[in-house]
Amino acid sequence: MKQSLAINGGTPVRTAPFTKGKRFAGNELKYLQEVLEQNTLFYWFGEKVKAMTAKFKNTYGTEYCMAASSGTAAIHTALGAIGLTAGDEVITSPITDMGTVIGILYQNAIPVFADLDPLSYNLDPACVEKNITEKTKAILVVHLAGNAADMDPIMEIAKKYNLYVIEDCAQSYMCYYKGRLAGTIGDIGCFSLNDFKQISAGDGGMVVTNNKTLYENCFKFADKNYNRLANDMASMRKVEYLAPNYRMTELQGAVGLAQLEKLEAVCARRNEFGDKLSAALAQLPGFYPQKVYEGGKSSYWFYMFRMDKNETGFSTDDFVKMLNAEGVPCMKGYIPACVYEYDMFLKQTAYQNTHCPFNCQYYNRKIEYKHGICPNAEKILESSVRINFDEFFTDADLNDMIAAVTKISTCFRE
């Protein structure tokens, strides 16, 4: 029997709020107490940042891991470590957080946005290759919403053109591509512990790599380019290049370590939840869940899917209104527009009163940022819906979400 939609005065599928839980109820307090008792909150003297990087390295199975103050800092650190400098280009995704591109610009390099695969919302390898120039130094791959990009062809392209690959895994902990963890496939993997990610230390970042030189460069870059690993005062004078202070404190290390203890369980639950939601949505005409490549696994930082209004019978905007009315909070798209449509890019004003690095003596090309440069990415933002969930949601919560979407879809088919 056809149910009447809540937006038309019918009974909403869901009236109770979705289940909440305490995120910091593990060893966080105990470890915080321990770092205060250390009498130092400095990572180099304390134990918690060291324990955290050791644990992360173990989880990821990489040779090296170091900590930074944020995900943005982790990415900037990776870019500094590969020697990114004025006039270089970095190819990246137009649907991402500003944290992906901030480090590129601080190195006075140029972000070049390549279009996305319409089903996975991650970089389309063919579009990456089309954007390579003699200035390209690296590909900065974003694994969007917990789900891996198509890494094999990207790695092949990088090899062919001798480029670095940096993975932005800020949204994608415990995310697999063909059985391998995202973050361990390219040269350097970067993670975020900001408060909205699968795990939080308030703010924080992690960097993993199997390359000793890159690790040492990262370690230095995140700490004013001081060579603390060399462990002698004289080497401080050898600071040759500018680098920021992106150190993680022991307070972050304490909370971060406790959060890491839950990482695999949190991501496993999100994976289970998201895969079930995808299986249900795939049954409905015009609903297209985010594509997970074969052998892959998403940890669904948020749940994003696309709709085709010709098949569903309603627009994305109307669907968002209808689903919210049914008691399932959701929103259209992810970011308000592709990153290249932000003022800083349209006006090419990364720094005040200058057009550096876009218009710069070290950059002999002319870059253009405008609507239309990545049509697939623009269409993804227009036709997608985002639903948030976390590891505390129950199976009943999930069933209500599925019931609400199914109710709306069914109403337009009868």
Ligand X SMILES: *Cc1c(COP(=O)(O)O)cnc(C)c1O
Positions that interact with ligand X (CB under 6 A): 70-72, 96-97, 99-100, 142, 168, 170-171, 192, 194, 203, 205
Q: How far is the CB of 314 from ligand X (least distance, A)?
A: 29
Q: How far is the CB of 368 from ligand X (least distance, A)?
A: 24
Question: Helices marked H in 239-294 — which ranges?
Answer: 250-281
Q: Of the two residues 6 and 170, which places its CB atom closer to ligand X in the complex?
A: 170
Q: Of the two residues 194 and 299, which places its CB atom closer to ligand X in the complex?
A: 194
Single-letter amino acid code for the residue at 331: M
DSSP secondary structure, 170-186, as one string: TT-TT-EETTEETTSSS
355 token code pair: 């057009």
Q: How far is the CB of 299 from ligand X (least distance, A)?
A: 13
Interior CA angle at 154 toward 200 and 136, to 5°? Answer: 95
Q: Of the two residues 6 and 190, which places its CB atom closer to ligand X in the complex?
A: 190
Single-letter amino acid code for the residue at 70: S
Q: Of the two residues 205 and 286, which places its CB atom closer to ligand X in the complex?
A: 205
Q: Of the two residues 149 and 404, which places its CB atom closer to ligand X in the complex?
A: 149
Q: How far is the CB of 74 from ligand X (least distance, A)?
A: 8
Give the Å distances, CA to CA, from 287 to 119, 283, 307, 311, 405. Answer: 11, 8, 5, 8, 10
Which residues, other chains included, contact 25 with Cβ-Cβ below 8 Å and sequence gap of 6+? Answer: none
Q: How far is the CB of 141 from ligand X (least distance, A)?
A: 10
Question: Please, is 197 exposed, middle or buried when counting C-beta atoms within 10 Å of its C-beta (0-12, 13-18, 19+)?
Answer: buried
Q: How far is the CB of 347 from ligand X (least distance, A)?
A: 22
Single-letter amino acid code for the residue at 170: A
Q: Of the two residues 97 and 400, which places its CB atom closer to ligand X in the complex?
A: 97
251 token code pair: 């307070």
Q: Of the two residues 72 and 316, which places its CB atom closer to ligand X in the complex?
A: 72
Q: What are the CB-based long-range contacts (under 8 Å, 24+) for 7-13? A: 7/321, 7/322, 7/325, 7/326, 12/325, 12/326, 12/327, 12/404, 13/326, 13/327, 13/328, 13/400, 13/403, 13/404, 13/407
Q: How far is the CB of 45 from ligand X (least distance, A)?
A: 24
Give the helix/strand (H/E) hosting 164.
strand 164-168
Question: Please, is 191 exposed, middle or buried when counting C-beta atoms within 10 Å of its C-beta (0-12, 13-18, 19+)?
Answer: buried
Q: Of the two residues 167 and 400, which places its CB atom closer to ligand X in the complex?
A: 167
**Can you tell me whether residue 87 is helix, strand or coil?**
coil
Q: How far is the CB of 190 from ligand X (least distance, A)?
A: 8
How far does the chain reach from its first CA to its final CA, in angstroms?
9
Q: Of the two residues 145 and 325, which places its CB atom closer to ligand X in the complex?
A: 145
Give the Å distances, CA to CA, from 299 to 196, 212, 267. Answer: 14, 29, 5
Q: How far is the CB of 100 from ligand X (least distance, A)?
A: 5
